[in-house]
Amino acid sequence: MASLKWKPTPRAAMISAVVVIVLAIAGLVGFPAYLRVEKRLNAKNDIELTKTQIRNAQLQITLAQQNAVLGMINAKATEEQQLVLNKMLTPLSIQYFTTQALKAFAASGSHSVVYIPADGNGVSLNPTAITNTIGKP
């Protein structure tokens, strides 16, 4: 197979040089237009970015408002629970629970419980427990 070799003629070389020069001039003439288009596109991108940032800020505000509402609901529920407990825990019921806890404490075997009477019944509302580790770890 014979290989074809192209040999440029002086006229072809001149045409090529003219084409390169024309393209260079066209590029220089078109470059400011390219810069204008690029600036316009950059401005559009900046506008879209700003819109996205505004939407994100609005979503964060909405989320913060919803969290505040949830916090208020939780605070109200805690308040209602506390009111129920306050109604249930009368001084007599607290004394009963204290006595039950002291009985369980005394039954453990490694502690001594000392009652300090504060009322006529001999049961303290604020008992003092003294722990002894008599022979038990």
Question: What is the chain's percent helix, strand, coil content, to nearest 5?
Answer: 70, 5, 25
Q: Is the domain of 106 the same as that of 46? A: no
Range of the domain at 25: 15-88
Q: Per-residue confidence of the chain (137 residues) as pLDDT tens digits?
A: 556 666 667 777 777 777 777 777 766 666 666 677 788 888 999 999 999 999 999 999 999 999 999 999 999 999 999 888 888 877 788 778 878 887 887 777 776 666 665 655 555 555 444 444 444 44
Q: What is the predicted pLDDT for the residue at 130?
A: 42
- Is there a domain that residue 73 lies in? yes
- Is there a domain that residue 46 lies in? yes
pTM, whole model, 2 decimals?
0.42
* Three-class DSSP labels, 77-128: HHHHHHHHHHHHCCHHHHHHHHHHHHHHHHHCCCCEEECCCCCCCCCCCCCE
Phi, psi of 114 (to 5 degrees): -115, 120
Q: Is the domain of 79 the same as that of 94? A: no
Q: Is the domain of 40 the same as that of 105? A: no
**Count of structural domains within the chain:** 2
Q: What is the predicted pLDDT for the residue at 15?
A: 79
CA angle 72, 78, 84 (to 5 degrees): 140
